[in-house]
Structure 1
Amino acid sequence: MESRESDQKKRLEQMEQELVERLTSEELDNTEQERKVKAKLSPKYEIRIQTKHDPIVEETKLYREMAQEVDDRYERYMNRVQPELKPDPDKDE
Structure 2
Amino acid sequence: MSRKRRQYSSEFKAQAALTALKGEQTMSEISAHFEIHPIMVSQWKCDLLDNATGVFEGMSSSKTAQKTHPEPPLPSKAGYSKNRYPTAPAF
Indicate the TM-score class for this superposition, using the shorter chain for normalisation: under 0.3
TM-score, normalised to structure 1, is: 0.27
More helix as a share of residues: 1
